[in-house]
């Protein structure tokens, strides 16, 4: 039952992330494009803050397969829970994108990601770096229980940071589920290239876990 509650929380959290943050990306690009990058970056960060302080005590508020795989590699998560989290996150992302498409009345702009100048390699590199920075910040701030009161805020601001630099390149994924939901319903190039935004964040998450474990002091690891 506890595991089911975690999965439901991850489903809800990822749904909210896609609906609200990708929704801001879709709407702000049409209404005030000059400020769209900042609005979108803030939206992603604020959703994480909101979810962290609402479902964080239930599931840890991963709402991102890249975070979950980092926790798995770090030994902070069981393999069975990892699978449940991934399924819940992808399902939540699709549900969030479906609601957004219904509200907008179109699947043309759902906050989907895109290749940087059509370059797969550069897009992969950008996403690996952005995810690495985001996930290592999460691992650092959650490494000590005394950080629990500020962890949600730090993680949210970190996500805002990577979006501020990443949006002009790829739209910023750093989250395979967040990319899959909109891409699935948008189709076309977004769907055919979505593998980039699944593979790169997962690599970035694993790298962050490996590097953090190598750099962290023994007392932090324990």
63 is written with which tokens?
Answer: 């709402």
From 102, 107, 96, select the one nearest 191 (Cα to Cα).
107
β-strand partners of 116: 119
Q: Which domain holds residue 62?
A: 2-221
The whole-number average pLDDT for the span 9-28 is 96
Q: How confident is the model at residue 28 (pLDDT cuts 50, 70, 90)?
A: confident
pTM of this prediction? 0.94
CATH no. for residue 168? 1.20.1080.10
pLDDT higher than 90, residue 154: yes
pLDDT of amino acid 126: 98
Residue recorded with tokens 């699978």: 83
Cα separation, 167 vs 216, whole angstroms: 30
pLDDT higher than 90, residue 31: no
Q: What is the pLDDT of residues 61-113, one digit of tens each?
A: 999 999 999 999 999 999 999 999 999 999 999 999 999 999 999 999 999 99
Number of domains the chain is built from: 1
10 is written with which tokens?
Answer: 């991850």
Q: What is the pLDDT of residues 157-200, one digit of tens each?
A: 999 999 999 999 999 999 999 999 999 999 999 999 999 999 99
Percent of the chain with pLDDT over 90: 87
Q: How confident is the model at residue 222 (pLDDT cuts 50, 70, 90)?
A: very low
* Mean pLDDT, the chain, whole residue set: 94
pLDDT higher than 90, residue 32: no
Percent of the chain with pLDDT over 70: 94
pLDDT higher than 90, residue 20: yes
More confident residue, 199 or 222: 199
From 97, 155, 167, select the one nearest 127 (Cα to Cα).
167
């Amino acid at each position: 039952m506890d595991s089911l509650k975690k999965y439901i929380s991850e489903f809800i959290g990822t749904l909210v992330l896609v609906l609200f943050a990708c929704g801001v990306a879709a709407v702000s690009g049409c209404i005030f494009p000059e400020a769209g990058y900042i609005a979108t970056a803030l939206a992603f960060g604020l959703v994480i803050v909101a979810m962290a302080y609402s479902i964080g005590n239930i599931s840890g508020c991963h709402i991102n397969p890249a975070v979950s795989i980092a926790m798995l590699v770090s030994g902070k998560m069981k393999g069975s829970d990892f699978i449940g989290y991934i399924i819940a996150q992808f399902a939540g992302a699709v549900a969030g994108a479906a609601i957004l498409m219904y509200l907008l009345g179109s699947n043309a702009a759902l906050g989907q990601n895109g290749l940087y100048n059509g370059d797969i390699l550069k897009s992969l590199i950008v996403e690996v770096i952005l995810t690495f920075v985001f996930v290592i910040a999460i691992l650092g701030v959650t490494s000590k229980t005394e950080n629990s009161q500020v962890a949600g805020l730090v993680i949210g601001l970190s996500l805002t940071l990577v979006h501020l630099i990443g949006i002009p390149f790829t739209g910023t994924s750093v989250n395979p589920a967040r990319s899959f939901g909109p891409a699935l319903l948008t189709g076309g190039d977004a769907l055919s290239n979505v593998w980039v935004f699944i593979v790169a964040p997962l690599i970035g998450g694993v790298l962050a876990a490996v590097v953090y474990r190598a750099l962290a002091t023994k007392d932090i690891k324990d």
